[in-house]
Structure 1
Amino acid sequence: MSRILRWGILGTGRIAGIFARGVQDSVSGKLVAVGSRSEESASRFAKEFNIPKAYASYEELLADPEVEAVYIATPHPMHAQWAIRAAEAGKHILCEKPLALNHAEAMAIVEAAKEHDVFLMEAFMYRCHPQTARVVDMIRDGAIGNVRTIQATFSFDAGSNPGSRLLRQDLGGGGILDVGCYCTSMARLIAGVALGKDFADPIELKAVGHIGEESRVDEYTAAVLKFPGEIIAQLATGVRVKQEDGVRIYGSDGWIHIPEPWIPGPNGEPTSIFLYKKGQSTPEEIVVDPGSPLYAIEADTVASHIEDRQAPSPAMTWEDSLGNMRTLDMWREQIGMIYDSERPEANTLPVHGRPLRVRPDNKMKYGHVQGIDKPISRLVMGVDNQRTMPHLAVMLDDFFERGGTCFDTAYIYMGGLSEKLLGQWVKNRGIREQVVIVGKGAHTPYCDPENLTKQLLESLDRLQTDYIDLYFMHRDNPEIPVGEFVEVLNEHLRAGRIRAFGGSNWTIQRVEEANKYAREHGLTGFAAVSNNFSLARMIEPPWAGCISSSDPESRAWFERNQMPLFSWSSQARGFFTGRARPDDFSDPELVRCWYSEDNFRRLERVNQLAREKGVEPINIALAYVLSQPFPTFALIGPRALSETHSSLKALEIELTPEEVKWLNLEA
């Protein structure tokens, strides 16, 4: 290689020393600095490996302009914080496995690498070794026919030292994250190659395991995974029991045995793969000569692909790492392995390790609703699918820091879990007066004044707050006189339990009746409405009792009355993301709710305008919602940070009134 990559090592533990030796043996790398949390440790490490600079803090290492790439060798719970900070410092990143403590943290790392345009790879060194590439080729070439089962084991006995990193809850101890991650990564790789892909994610996972009474980490465990194509994997791992490590791949025409899958040829020695063909009594030994030590190959892999920002499979790509972390989450969930830092009540800092703050470079836009004296972000984060605190915190922290102030939830979402997690997050962050909580209750069949009150009080308890900023009735019940709803909502308004209220999935006629009643009785009326509104016409409601306000008559009414509209399914549930095509009926729900000739004509125009403006079609569709001649707030339901960031791009698109009409086939 003509270019030398200058490395800094963040951390001074055993694995850091092994990688340092690997860089010294590489053809592309040069060690220029090491950072530790103590001057003594940094100096000792620098002297041992002849490194010119030793820093007594990780921050100093990242501030060194001579350092181009960093190897993160801290304990698992610190990976996310320092990988993100390395990305912010413009450093390329090789992060020890597992990439993070959980999928949510890994997602934040990947997004930081994207945003700051740096290389990122999870340090599964075996994935860079020629032995793994050879196994991939064998599977691809049909050496054992159709793959049916995979067995992978990585397990050892680390003893009973309670101070060991491997047995400490606070350091992410346990077998699944330390070595089980190898087994999942291998199974996903082989299953994927067998299916003609780079990797595959399991569609089902079952597991049992032993969590130590004193250690409170998974000391040994086994899992069975089912992949598409009826491929089954059996995985075993542990840190308190020695098992025979290895990988066996069984197919219709034979099987493959890899005796040393995880640390193949650490010093550059040849390794062996054994191929057992059906009908043959002795195996064929396939010898792989790597030509370089294991960790040198890993360092050279990084250097070779710096410009691409990712190394290709079978090295760990970003999506591969995210899928692996998701699988590890599934495994831990199956056996009840939760780290203390992941529990809802754990008042931890955001994943980057700094106090929560709004970024000065945010592009958020704000609106106003009568009765609420806080700025309300025009994009509203839906809190309806984040089932764990790590996932919710990563998603909501990011949205808040990018200027988001408004969060939408409901009494029925996930049986109350959504409200509980949102409330705990707000309490943990200490930001109740900086956020606008949109709550909903009285969903059918509990849509009456008595149940409205009962559910509102329970929602307040779940949210750990005295009030909800904007409260929507989740459904209407035309059998009940509208005045009864107005009266009970005003009762809660006077009591300070809500600051403003409105109706979700209410017809315009009933909203008008409610506000007429309020005027005639000296009461407060509806301040906002939350119906469907999107560029795509809703053909059938996704849920019973849903109402859309995308039609011309409704739009004209909102414009005349300047009533704020909080639009759900503002992006037509993915219709404009490329998933919808006239010949693709793979998503029955998308077909049922949004497929029509006029919607596909709108999609054509969205695609055309997106090309002209150099943005994604989904950005145009969301900008349409935000460009109406009346106050609109778009509810978004991202499952991943990448989806949030895609939605935020719509804020930078200004559509003219003529473009708005043209998109909606009115010109």
Structure 2
Amino acid sequence: MSQTLSWGIIGTGRIAGIFANGLTKSQTGKLVAVGSRTQEAADRFGATWNVAHCYHSYEDLLADDEVQAVYISTPHPMHAEWAIKAAEAGKHILCEKPIALNHAGAMAVIEAAQRNDVFLMEAFMYRSHPQIARLTELLQTGTIGDVQLIQASFAFRSGFNPESRLLQNALGGGGILDVGCYCTSMARLVAGIAVGKPFADPIQVTATGHIGAETGVDEYTVASLAFPGAILAQLLTGVRLNAENHVRIYGSEGSITLTTPWNPPAGQATQIVVQRADQTEIEQITIECPDDLYSLEADTVAAHIQERQSPTVSWEDTLGNMRTLDQWREAIGLSYNAEQPQGADQHLPVHKRPLAVHAQNIMKYGQIAGVEKPVSRLVMGVDNQTIWSHAVVMFDDFFEQGGNCFDSAYIYGRGRCEEILGQWIKNRGVREQVVILDKGAHTPNCNPQALHSQFMESLDRLQTDYVDVYMMHRDNPNIPVGEFITVLNEHKNAGRMRAFGASNWSIERIQEANEWAAAHGLVGFSAISNNFSLARMVDPVWAGCIAASDAQSRAWLEQTQMPIMPWSSQARGFFTGRAHPDDRSDAELVRCWYSSDNFQRLERVNQMAQERGVLPINIALAYVLNQPFPTFPLIGPRLLSETRTSLPALTVELTPEELRWLNLEA
């Protein structure tokens, strides 16, 4: 083994004791500390397992310099909080499954590990047992031909105790998160091996289940999964139902059965049963393993410390598994109270500290006429945020990175996006710290009357009495500019808008509107929001869209110093490695951005990115940020990793000559 580790255990429940026992047999680990919520529990656990340091708080354990790695064994809802805090304390992490209540929480944990450069693994201990390596070998060598169906069950009938964590909604109870996660992880592992990958994610998840009327959790449920390669899976789990708890894999030439897939006893051999279609005899493969399952898990952590994650359960594997569990719960209509916007825990981020901007952030800020607050140079678009638990993790992270401007619109998610953004702002108590950019009056309702009615409804959805910047979402050339300017000034004068502008208006109409406003003693547009990116928009992303990336528009923006808050500033991922002349799998990317000149720009971006040691997307976004006029590019990250990889663009400085070179003008 590559490293000897001194362990601390957070939590003193049953699984903590099992892991402590495993550490006594580990080749690499020793238990030096335990943390509990009470000194009595910590001392009792410490006496049982001969632990030198017993703490009455988890914080004290994380402050112990002797502790190098922590095993988190708290109830499910506390996993993400303490994994993040452990990462921030510089501790390596083995976190009991599930790593969080949902995919969003898992993202937050993995980002914390990434940003603090620590090891992290979700504790699916069965993956460390040698029978999984043998199963992998059997599948890779085609022992049963092409995998077609996977059956996995893990269920048990617990006594009916409403106070048990297994049956409490508030503690993330039910079968899916407690043991169903094993079934999904096994199915994804087998399906992945079958198609030559470490794991595979399902393309379809359907399920039925029984949610207890008294418990509000899934007491037993079955799911059907469809994977690439025509592979299906049938999964059974529950906490109020006994099951066989086997894994069977059916292939075109036979079947494989694991009789003890989840928790093979230490020192006892396990059996893999192989039945080939062309043979009458059943083959029983014996897997000898004298080691304790949890000691193997601890040794797996030590073996991969330097890589910061283990192929046994990689970060992407964890994220895919959590996403599948979310889909399973959604299919049976199960959500946890802690995931609801009005839940008691919804006033704090996943780490359970008040929301605050990180002191070491690299965000930059600018000004927009009429808006007293500084505006972050990157603006988070919320048009793809329609799930509360996911959205708040994205918003919290952006805010902590110094981002304070959020872009929404009346039509996004049929109002759902405005509602989520408004509820998040209210829950976090940050209305005066954020800049809301909201839009309305989209075609075919682009007229002064619709502008007014939609805007008033948007204020209700956002739970605010004003927006910082309001943009007309489209133009209607059949209506004189003065009619729009008049109603916008009425709202501004009433204090419902601090500033307003136009999205997808031509430069000529914008200029006409501002000239009309000046002539009538009114306020004109303070900013615009047309498309602007290094890549030329070949075909409008949506009908009525207008770009301002051409030389004439850029000259006008430079002359007037009109701020632009451009959408699709990263050309919808054109510079992320998704675009290639021979890859036409993404029809929208091809339609809107594929052209010979854009691919020339992509070549130059890749060249400069390699020279500067940054990602190509950083160069493409820096092109927008470094224009000789104010820019506040909108970004639309769907994952925390996309936010993280966008931010370094703020540190890339480009000269006028480099801007011209990137845009094929030199």
TM-score, with normalisation over the residues of structure 2? 0.99
Separation (CA, whole Å) in 1 of partners of 2:325 and 2:595: 41
1:482 has 2:496 as partner: no
Q: How does 1:217-256 map to 2 (within 5 A)?
A: 217-256=217-256
Separation (CA, whole Å) in 1 of partners of 2:241 and 2:80: 29
SS at match of 2:565: strand
Could you give the per-residue CA deviations for residues 421-471 of structure 1, whole angstroms, max 9, x where no partner exists? 000000000010110000011111111111111111111111111011111
The aligned residue for residue 75 of structure 2 is: 75
The aligned residue for residue 572 of structure 2 is: 573
Separation (CA, whole Å) in 2 of partners of 1:140 and 1:100: 31
The answer to whether the Cα contact below 8 Å between 1:268 and 1:294 also exists between their aligned partners in 2 is: no
SS at match of 2:8: strand
The answer to whether the Cα contact below 8 Å between 1:35 and 1:54 also exists between their aligned partners in 2 is: yes
Separation (CA, whole Å) in 2 of partners of 1:423 and 1:212: 33
Could you give the per-residue CA deviations for residues 249-274 of structure 1, whole angstroms, max 9, x where no partner exists? 0010001111111112x213110010
The aligned residue for residue 459 of structure 1 is: 458
Could you give the per-residue CA deviations for residues 310-343 of structure 1, whole angstroms, max 9, x where no partner exists? 111xx11000000000000001111111111101
Q: How does 1:1-400 map to 2 (within 5 A)?
A: 1=1, 3-264=3-264, 266-312=265-311, 315-346=312-343, 347-400=346-399
The aligned residue for residue 527 of structure 1 is: 526
Separation (CA, whole Å) in 1 of partners of 2:298 and 2:555: 62
SS at match of 1:286: strand
1:189 to partner: Cα distance: 0.3
SS at match of 2:94: strand
SS at match of 2:633: strand
SS at match of 1:489: helix
Separation (CA, whole Å) in 1 of partners of 2:360 and 2:257: 54
Could you give the per-residue CA deviations for residues 374-395 of structure 1, whole angstroms, max 9, x where no partner exists? 1100000011112222111111
The answer to whether the Cα contact below 8 Å between 1:224 and 1:235 also exists between their aligned partners in 2 is: yes
The aligned residue for residue 469 of structure 1 is: 468
1:2 to partner: Cα distance: 6.5
1:653 has 2:647 as partner: no
SS at match of 1:235: strand
1:513 to partner: Cα distance: 1.0
The aligned residue for residue 437 of structure 1 is: 436
The aligned residue for residue 622 of structure 1 is: 621
SS at match of 1:296: helix
Separation (CA, whole Å) in 2 of partners of 1:201 and 1:131: 22
The answer to whether the Cα contact below 8 Å between 2:2 and 2:303 also exists between their aligned partners in 1 is: no
SS at match of 1:161: coil
TM-score, with normalisation over the residues of structure 1? 0.99
CA RMSD of aligned residues (A): 0.9
Separation (CA, whole Å) in 2 of partners of 1:323 and 1:486: 49
Percent identical: 67
In the alignment, structure 1 segments of 5+ residues that lack a partner are none
The answer to whether the Cα contact below 8 Å between 1:35 and 1:61 also exists between their aligned partners in 2 is: yes
Could you give the per-residue CA deviations for residues 463-489 of structure 1, whole angstroms, max 9, x where no partner exists? 111011111111101111111111111
Separation (CA, whole Å) in 1 of partners of 2:47 and 2:521: 80
Q: How does 1:478-557 map to 2 (within 5 A)?
A: 478-557=477-556
1:3 to partner: Cα distance: 3.9
CA 1:448/1:332 → structure 2, altered by over 3 Å: closer, same or farther?
A: same
Separation (CA, whole Å) in 1 of partners of 2:248 and 2:394: 39
Separation (CA, whole Å) in 2 of partners of 1:291 and 1:538: 62
SS at match of 1:33: strand
Separation (CA, whole Å) in 2 of partners of 1:338 and 1:65: 39
The answer to whether the Cα contact below 8 Å between 2:3 and 2:303 also exists between their aligned partners in 1 is: no
SS at match of 1:632: coil
Could you give the per-residue CA deviations for residues 198-250 of structure 1, whole angstroms, max 9, x where no partner exists? 00000111011111111111111111000111111011100111111111100
The answer to whether the Cα contact below 8 Å between 1:341 and 1:348 also exists between their aligned partners in 2 is: no
Separation (CA, whole Å) in 2 of partners of 1:548 and 1:132: 54
1:585 to partner: Cα distance: 1.2
Separation (CA, whole Å) in 1 of partners of 2:97 and 2:2: 29
SS at match of 2:322: helix
Question: Which amino acid in 2 is paired with 1:323?
Answer: G
How many residues matched? 664
Separation (CA, whole Å) in 2 of partners of 1:241 and 1:604: 58
Separation (CA, whole Å) in 2 of partners of 1:269 and 1:300: 19
SS at match of 2:223: strand
The aligned residue for residue 641 of structure 2 is: 642
Separation (CA, whole Å) in 1 of partners of 2:411 and 2:45: 55
1:631 has 2:630 as partner: yes
SS at match of 2:452: helix
CA 1:278/1:624 → structure 2, altered by over 3 Å: closer, same or farther?
A: same
Separation (CA, whole Å) in 2 of partners of 1:370 and 1:348: 32
In the alignment, structure 2 segments of 5+ residues that lack a partner are none
